[in-house]
Structure 1
Amino acid sequence: MKPNIGIINSMVRITAGLSMLTYLTIRGARKECDSSHPLLIMLSALKVAEGIVRFCPLTAVYEEMSTEKDGIEQSWQQNIPQDQ
């Protein structure tokens, strides 16, 4: 598993993840009846983890799908009828 995001991107992910995690923790501690959704807490922790290891699974899937496997570039041909 090699890094697929840059340094700046990882710092932004760490900062955003810790900010969201702090906000959700404070929000959950203040109002007991209005607890934070566990999914949001998991997503913010995931952003922190992605920034630390510099690997994003969604970016890896996108890069895998966007590269060509056989090395042959195929053109998209449009068959437009021409009226003469």
Structure 2
Amino acid sequence: MEIFTMATATLTSKGQITIPIQVRAALGLETGDRVEFVEMENGQFSMIAASKTVHDLKGLIRKPAMPVSIEDMNSAIAAQGAKAG
């Protein structure tokens, strides 16, 4: 893992920190955004922006060329279930 810059913050008695401005800018964080702490190897943690909503995912997946009916979906699910059982 390569480290480019280092920023520090101080933990308050309430368990709060202020995220340094260069970190907020790099993560694209704004007031009210959420962050996630992901445990990595050797007890280290990575902080990632968790500010995206479901609405941000719109347009990520293309629409199918042909629409599929609920009946067709149910038939496909039943067929797969019959194969697995």
**Is the structural similarity TM-score above 0.5?**
no
